[in-house]
Amino acid sequence: MVRETVLDNGLKVLVQEVHTAPLASVWCWYRVGSKDETPGVTGVSHWVEHMNFKGTRNIPRDQVKGIIEKFGGSWNGYTWIDQTTYLETASKDALDRMLFIEAERMDACLYDPADCESERTVIISELQGGENDPEQLLDTEVTAAAFKVHPYHHPTIGWLSDLQTMSREDLYGHYRRYYVPSNATIVVVGDVDSDDVVKRVAAHFGSIPSGSRPSRVRQVEPEQQAERRVVLRKEGTTAYWKAAFHAPAFADEAFFPLLVADAVLNGAAGLNIWSGGGVSRPQRSARLYRALVDGGLAASVSGGLMPTEHPYLYSLSVSVAEGRSLTAVEEVVLKEVDRLQRDGITAGEFAKVNAQLRARFVYDGDSVTDIAHQLGYFETIGSWRNYHDLKARLEAVTPESVHAAAVKYLTPANRTIGWFEPQ
């Protein structure tokens, strides 16, 4: 059972008691990601996340990480297209310290100019490292080609020219605009008492001014009218093939039918982008695995449909086997996609992938850290209650709705195809 409380300053607090081990996981979520950025400051959300590990008014920079490690705990954070989050999981005795860190991070980060400059070098190196990864580079270019209007076009790390010119004032202004209680959610899951947690959160965060809730993205991506293609020819040893189809947002009724379609093509994947339950996809009997990997055309194949606030992408990605051609891979993938569009799925496939997806949803909440992640993640794209609705939404899917989703979304005019040809 989840307890929801909203403090007077607008901070939402979600607490779930799980008394299986003397641990507590604290996550602080902000509704800000790369979709909230404009040209000129792309990558600012990710850079701000980095800066918020650099010390605060009351935590010296060299102690930010050590505070939790003293309790034998773990810490981290990430930024993606819809959200930025920070976490600590440790002994329940560290709860006060974890909340103290997040209250400081929300309101007291320093943004020392020298730290901003040193981090610029770190992030540009990270971007350039990604550009040297053919698969990652292809993903960036295909995504950018798929979106013309919506800011999902931007890579989370940003574009190089923006990273080179962004100022300390750009970073600090972004921090002050989005890191406010009215735009944040604290999630605590573990061996805790809900009443006690709410009191502690109020003590640490209650005096922080609420701030103004930032305006939300209004751009709507126009319907794609024709297939788009990206061909990259760079130094490398492996060829990669990718297709991205415009896909429904998580709240859309077609999301789960398309998730089932992906499970038929690639094996069932969960909806936890943080850990994925630590369990690999059951791919051996999936259509694309049999056609490509068992057929000797590919070393690996995968699909990706992520829960997002706005309509995003459903992707198919293939690592081409040595000595095999991109043309041959594309022919087989598109043949299988066309077959799914034409004939739908069998009763046996439907029963199998439903069982697989139900199991994946269990794996997605395998620990207090995973449960806290899922509650906070779904809150940033809609409501934490959506996490508890996953099973019901899956049960509402029919073979007919899967077929209808394939017909609607997996069309040639709705896709962007990318090739990486190693030179």
Three-state DSSP class for 92? Answer: helix
Instruction: Supply the pLDDT for residue 277.
Output: 60
pLDDT one-digit tens code per residue, 8-28: 999 999 999 999 999 999 999
Q: Could you write out the DSSP letters of every residue in 98-140? A: HHHHHHHHHH-B---HHHHHHHHHHHHHHHHHHHTSHHHHHHH
| 144 and 25, same domain (yes or no) | yes
- Supply the range of the domain harboring residue 370: 228-422
Q: Is the pLDDT of residue 30 over 90?
A: yes
Percent above pLDDT 90 for the chain:
94
Q: Could you write out the DSSP letters of every residue in 187-252? A: EEEES--HHHHHHHHHHHHTTS---PPPPPP---PPPP-S-EEEEEEES-S--EEEEEEE---TTS
| 172 and 321, same domain (yes or no) | no
Structural domain total, the chain: 2
Residues 6+ apart with CB under 8 A from 308: 81, 82, 152, 249, 250, 381
| 233 and 92, same domain (yes or no) | no
| 191 and 237, same domain (yes or no) | no
| 172 and 286, same domain (yes or no) | no
Average pLDDT value for residue range 50-63: 92
Instruction: Supply the pLDDT for residue 278.
Output: 67
pLDDT one-digit tens code per residue, 123-135: 999 999 998 999 9
In a domain, 216, yes or no: no
Q: Is the pLDDT of residue 281 over 90?
A: no
* Chain mean pLDDT for the chain: 96
Q: Is the pLDDT of residue 224 over 90?
A: yes
Q: What is the largest CA-CA distance in the chain?
A: 63
Q: Are 240 and 324 in contact (CB under 8 A)?
A: no
| 290 and 357, same domain (yes or no) | yes
Average pLDDT value for residue range 139-154: 98
Average pLDDT value for residue range 155-174: 98
Cα separation of 362 and 272, whole Å? 10
| 258 and 297, same domain (yes or no) | yes
Q: Which of the 8 DSSP states describes residue 414?
A: G
| 178 and 258, same domain (yes or no) | no
Instruction: Supply the pLDDT for residue 64.
Output: 76
In a domain, 213, yes or no: no
In a domain, 219, yes or no: no
In a domain, 223, yes or no: no
Average pLDDT value for residue range 211-217: 92
The CA-CA-CA angle for residues 262, 268, 269, to 5°, reads 95
| 269 and 171, same domain (yes or no) | no
Query: Which of 9-30 are b and which e, b meaning 16 or more Cβ less than 10 Å from the residue's Cβ?
Result: bbbbbbbbbbeeeebbbbbbbb
In a domain, 212, yes or no: no
| 184 and 249, same domain (yes or no) | no
pLDDT one-digit tens code per residue, 361-404: 999 999 999 999 999 999 999 999 999 999 999 999 999 999 99
Q: Is the pLDDT of residue 279 over 90?
A: no
CATH number at residue 60: 3.30.830.10
In a domain, 210, yes or no: no
**CB neighbours of residue 119 within 10 Å:** 18
Radius of gyration of the chain (CA): 22
CA-nearest of 25, 55, 244 to 142 is 244
Average pLDDT value for residue range 282-311: 97
- The residue ranking higher by pLDDT, 281 or 33, is 33
The strand pair at 228-234 and 415-422 is best described as: parallel
Domain stops at, among 172, 205, 238:
205
| 263 and 174, same domain (yes or no) | no
Instruction: Supply the pLDDT for residue 275.
Output: 80
Q: What pTM value is reported for the model? A: 0.97
| 315 and 402, same domain (yes or no) | yes
- Distances in Å between the Cα of 132 and the Cα atoms of 39, 87, 137, 152 are 24, 30, 7, 22
Instruction: Supply the pLDDT for residue 66.
Output: 82
